[in-house]
């Protein structure tokens, strides 16, 4: 051992001298012998010895323990106590000063030497540990990651300043608390709390990572995107000591990642999805349609006409600006689920999801072409641009995006070849079919605007008296020089086009006027003779009220001013509400039961009657019957047809008639074609009948004629 300076504090001078001599023998330096506590403190500060040998019992005011405490407080040097005897209390007090050893007097040289060696060894070890700890703290305090540690019971014992800043907790407040309280992590998407990684790593005994989309919820309620991991810590015996957690604010990183992803998948010029993203979504759509056949989609490939000449004559800058201006126009009529992409150059593509109907795809293409029609102001250039569109539907089973796009391309070139500013379907058969439908749409518009619709009337008779009680107004479409078109071919279309309310109101007005005109022809009950209407003028009984039945599409019930419209029709035509029966179907109640009920109530105030049409075909929930103010139930033709041959149908009709009567409603049977059917229904107590047995629907003029005969 190299030479050390040792301060000897001992008031028994003989022992002190002995110590000094022994220490010098051992190769150390003993600069002075001190005999009091006060002097010991002073000398230690002055000389800064390597070690102090301190007698516990000093004769002065300050004893050895107090002196040692003062010295170690100021200087980092080991102290060894000397004592001849010591009571428990003294030893306990001494132990608080963390001495490096005790030497009993009288001492032995060997013992002294061993004690001093151990003291120096322990001291240097402690110093190293202290240095390491300081170094570690400096590192922890200066790194940009948040670090926290817990003990084995899972309670926080350390937090660095970054962890403090992120959580909003100070270390002082956090120490001793559970990490679940201080480090609260949320899943960004589900908003659920995530198990504390620190506790989890402790319990599961391995490293735990936070999920990628984790947020740290600070004490003040701030949400910070973080990346985090926690790992258990072991001592050198391999025993668990606690866990340590490292976390990092990942706001920037997530933003960058999102940005990078966006850039990789979007067109820099227009901001639209690029080819890569489009192909990805298209592939997903293809896969989905193969998995679930009810899912369909359409792809439109759109190429601008004559874009190259704009580029060539006005320059690329104008061309680019035009492309930028086109992007939002393409999106005008698309839904959120659809994708518009720029594939490159002046080529765009649209993916329409959840589309199975060609007509929908064609309509969308038409709208896009219309949206592109108004001119674009680019700088001081007023530019007109058209596009050609090729359409492919998923009804052709594609497996690969390239095949599908190739066909869309073919269709697009056909559209271009036929004349620009048009669209074309790849499947030609489909194309002619779709064109027909489109034409029909245009034609229906035209029909309503140009009076091509006519109303035919079918009598409804009392099964008991055979008198005509009502006439159902049934619309037909009469194109000039063409056969009549029946409603089954255009009512659904009119509904889809939003034309049905206009159509129905036209029919109601027409029918009301017609009835009004017939009433003016004179009184008397109407009867049927060989399917011809006639008047039983000589009857003594008063003529029953003849009324008109009109069909109301359930779409009406979405309209606010329905009741006002009916009131004004009645007023304009001068017909009383008693003569009008509105036929509705159960779908009215399904779509919007509450509002429908309220509307029916209001309608009833106009004295009109409500018929429930096609009963038995739909939901046929009997619960509707008493929930809504229904006057007459019309049993659907499908039940009447088989009533003579099918016992089950007969039973159902009997039940319906019975129930309706219990509820105070009358029953009309639709589609009676044979006398047998009529007789059965009459036996069942059914009030009214309608069907070819009595008469088919005919136009108003024919009816007027037969009444005059």
Provide the pairing of β-strand 240-249 with 223-234: antiparallel
Rounded Cα–Cα distance for residues 215 and 217 (Å): 6
Based on the shown chain and the rule CB under 5 A, indicate whether residue 613 belongs to the binding site for Ca ion: yes
Q: Which does 474 bind (CB under 5 to 8 A by kind): Ca ion, ligand C2E, none?
A: ligand C2E
The answer to whether the beta carbons of residues 86 and 56 sit under 8 Å apart is: yes
Task: Identify the DSSP state of 98.
Answer: -
DSSP assignments along 387-429, one per residue: EEEEEEETTS--S-HHHHHHHHHHHHHHHHHH-SS-EEESSHH
Please pick, from the candidates 71, 156, 389, 697, the single residue that binds ligand C2E as defined by CB under 6 A. 697
Which tokens belong to 75? 């200087």
| Minimal distance, residue 473 CB to ligand C2E, in Å | 6
Rounded Cα–Cα distance for residues 376 and 368 (Å): 15
Based on the shown chain and the rule CB under 6 A, indicate whether residue 580 belongs to the binding site for ligand C2E: no
Q: Which does 530 bind (CB under 5 to 8 A by kind): ligand C2E, Ca ion, none?
A: none
> Which of the ranges 104-112, 117-125, 483-491, 540-548 carries the binding residues for ligand C2E, by CB under 6 A?
483-491
Q: Which does 167 bind (CB under 5 to 8 A by kind): ligand C2E, Ca ion, none?
A: none
Based on the shown chain and the rule CB under 6 A, indicate whether residue 158 belongs to the binding site for ligand C2E: no
Site for Ca ion in 580-599 (CB under 5 A): 583
Please pick, from the candidates 102, 120, 413, 486, the single residue that binds ligand C2E as defined by CB under 6 A. 486
| Minimal distance, residue 670 CB to Ca ion, in Å | 5
> Which of the ranges 27-35, 176-184, 586-594, 690-698 carries the binding residues for ligand C2E, by CB under 6 A?
690-698
Based on the shown chain and the rule CB under 5 A, indicate whether residue 305 belongs to the binding site for Ca ion: no
The residue assigned the tokens 């038995």 is 616
> Which of the ranges 197-205, 280-288, 367-375, 666-674 carries the binding residues for Ca ion, by CB under 5 A?
666-674
Task: Identify the DSSP state of 81.
Answer: E
- Which of 696, 673, 668 lies closest to 612 in space, CA to CA? 668
Binding string, residues 587-626; x marks residues near ligand C2E by CB under 6 A: --------------------------xx------------
| Minimal distance, residue 486 CB to ligand C2E, in Å | 4
Based on the shown chain and the rule CB under 6 A, indicate whether residue 553 belongs to the binding site for ligand C2E: yes
Measured from the CB atom, the residue of 362 and 453 that comes closer to ligand C2E is 453
Rounded Cα–Cα distance for residues 349 and 339 (Å): 8
DSSP H stretches of helix in 213-357 = 251-265, 275-291, 307-314, 316-331
Please pick, from the candidates 691, 698, 700, 703, the single residue that binds ligand C2E as defined by CB under 6 A. 691
Through-space distance between the first and last CA atoms of the chain, rounded to whole angstroms = 145
Q: Is 102 exposed, middle or buried (0-12, 13-18, 19+ CB in 10 A)?
A: middle
Rounded Cα–Cα distance for residues 186 and 19 (Å): 68
Binding string, residues 622-661; x marks residues near ligand C2E by CB under 6 A: ---------------x------------------------
Site for Ca ion in 540-559 (CB under 5 A): 551
Max intra-chain CA distance, the chain: 161
User: How many residues touch ligand C2E (CB under 6 A)?
Assistant: 23
Measured from the CB atom, the residue of 5 and 617 that comes closer to Ca ion is 617
With a CB cutoff of 8 Å and minimum separation 6, the contacts of 662 are none
Cβ atoms within 10 Å, residue 57: 17
Residue nearest to ligand C2E (CB): 691
With b for 16 or more beta-carbon neighbours within 10 A and e for fewer, the 571-584 pattern comes to eebebebebbbbbb
Based on the shown chain and the rule CB under 6 A, indicate whether residue 34 belongs to the binding site for ligand C2E: no
Rounded Cα–Cα distance for residues 325 and 332 (Å): 12
> Which of the ranges 320-328, 330-338, 506-514, 663-671 carries the binding residues for Ca ion, by CB under 5 A?
663-671
Based on the shown chain and the rule CB under 6 A, indicate whether residue 675 belongs to the binding site for ligand C2E: no
Based on the shown chain and the rule CB under 6 A, indicate whether residue 671 belongs to the binding site for ligand C2E: yes
Computed from CA positions of residues 687, 689, 694, 696, in that sequence, does the dihedral angle turn out positive or negative? positive
| Minimal distance, residue 388 CB to ligand C2E, in Å | 38
Binding string, residues 407-446; x marks residues near ligand C2E by CB under 6 A: ----------------------------------------
Which tokens belong to 293? 């056949």
Rounded Cα–Cα distance for residues 187 and 212 (Å): 9
Positions in the binding site for ligand C2E (CB under 6 A): 458, 474-475, 486-488, 491, 500, 504, 507, 551, 553, 583, 613-614, 637, 670-671, 673, 690-692, 697
């Amino acid at each position: 051992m190299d030479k050390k300076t040792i301060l000897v504090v001992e008031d028994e001078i003989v022992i002190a001298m002995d110590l000094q001599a022994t220490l010098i023998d051992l190769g150390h330096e003993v600069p002075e012998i001190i005999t009091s506590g006060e002097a010991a403190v002073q000398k230690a500060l002055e000389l800064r010895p390597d070690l102090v040998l301190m007698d516990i019992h000093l004769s002065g005011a300050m004893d050895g323990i107090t002196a040692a405490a003062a010295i170690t407080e100021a200087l980092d040097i080991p102290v060894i106590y000397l004592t001849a005897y010591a009571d428990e209390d003294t030893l306990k007090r001494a132990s608080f000063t963390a001495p490096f050893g005790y030497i009993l007097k009288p001492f032995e040289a060997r013992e002294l030497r061993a004690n001093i060696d151990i003291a120096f060894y322990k001291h240097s070890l402690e110093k190293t540990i202290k240095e390491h700890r300081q170094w570690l703290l400096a590192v922890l305090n200066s790194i940009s990651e948040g670090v926290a540690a817990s003990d084995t019971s899972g309670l926080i014992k350390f937090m660095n300043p970054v962890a403090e800043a992120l959580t909003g907790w100070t270390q002082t407040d956090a120490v001793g608390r559970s990490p679940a309280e201080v480090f609260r992590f949320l899943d960004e998407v589900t908003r659920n709390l995530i198990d504390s990684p620190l506790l989890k790593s402790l319990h599961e005994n391995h490293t735990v990572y936070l999920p990628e989309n984790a947020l740290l919820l600070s004490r003040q309620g701030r949400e910070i995107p973080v990346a985090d991991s926690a790992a258990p810590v072991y001592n050198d015996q391999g025993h668990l000591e606690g866990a340590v957690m490292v976390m990092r604010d990942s706001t920037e990183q997530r933003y960058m990642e999102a940005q990078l992803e966006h850039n990789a998948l979007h067109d820099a010029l227009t901001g639209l999805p690029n080819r890569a993203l489009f192909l990805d979504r298209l592939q997903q759509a293809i896969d989905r349609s193969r998995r679930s056949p009810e899912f369909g989609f359409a792809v439109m490939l759109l190429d601008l006409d004559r874009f190259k000449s704009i580029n060539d004559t006005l320059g690329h800058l104008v061309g680019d600006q035009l492309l930028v201006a086109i992007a939002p126009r393409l999106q005008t009529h698309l839904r959120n689920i659809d994708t518009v992409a720029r594939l490159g150059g002046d080529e765009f593509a649209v993916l329409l999801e959840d589309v199975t109907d060609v007509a929908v795809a064609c309509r969308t293409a038409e709208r896009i072409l219309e949206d592109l029609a108004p001119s674009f102001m680019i700088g001081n250039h007023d530019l007109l641009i058209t596009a050609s569109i090729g359409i492919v539907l998923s009804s052709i089973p594609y497996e690969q995006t390239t095949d599908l796009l190739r066909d869309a391309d073919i269709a697009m070139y056909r559209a271009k070849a036929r004349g620009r500013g048009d669209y074309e379907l790849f499947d030609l058969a489909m194309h002619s079919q779709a064109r027909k439908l489109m034409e029909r749409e245009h034609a229906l518009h035209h029909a309503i605007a140009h009076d091509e619709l006519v109303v035919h009337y079918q009598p409804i008779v009392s099964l008991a008296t055979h008198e005509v009680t009502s006439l159902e107004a049934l619309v037909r479409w009469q194109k000039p020089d063409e056969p009549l078109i029946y409603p089954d071919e255009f009512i659904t279309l009119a509904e889809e086009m939003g034309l049905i309310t206009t159509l129905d109101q036209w029919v109601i007005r027409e029918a009301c006027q017609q009835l009004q005109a017939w009433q003016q022809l004179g009184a008397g009950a109407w009867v049927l003779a060989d399917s011809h209407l006639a008047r039983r003028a000589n009857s003594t009984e008063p003529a029953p009220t003849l009324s008109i039945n009109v069909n109301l599409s359930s779409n009406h019930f979405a309209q606010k001013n329905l009741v006002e419209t009916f009131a004004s029709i009645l007023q304009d035509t001068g017909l009383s509400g008693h003569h009008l029966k509105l036929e509705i179907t159960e779908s009215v109640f399904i779509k919007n039961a509450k509002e429908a009920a309220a509307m029916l109530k209001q309608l009833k105030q106009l004295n009109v009657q409500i018929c429930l049409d096609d009963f038995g075909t739909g939901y046929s929930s009997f619960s509707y019957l008493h929930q809504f103010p229904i006057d007459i139930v019309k049993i659907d033709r499908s039940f009447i047809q088989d009533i003579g041959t099918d016992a089950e149908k007969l039973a159902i009709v009997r039940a319906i008639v019975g129930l309706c009567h219990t509820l105070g409603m009358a029953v009309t049977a639709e589609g009676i074609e044979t006398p047998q059917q009529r007789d059965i229904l009459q036996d069942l107590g059914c009030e009214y009948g309608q069907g070819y047995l009595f008469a088919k629907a005919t136009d108003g003029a024919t009816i007027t004629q037969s009444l005059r005969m």
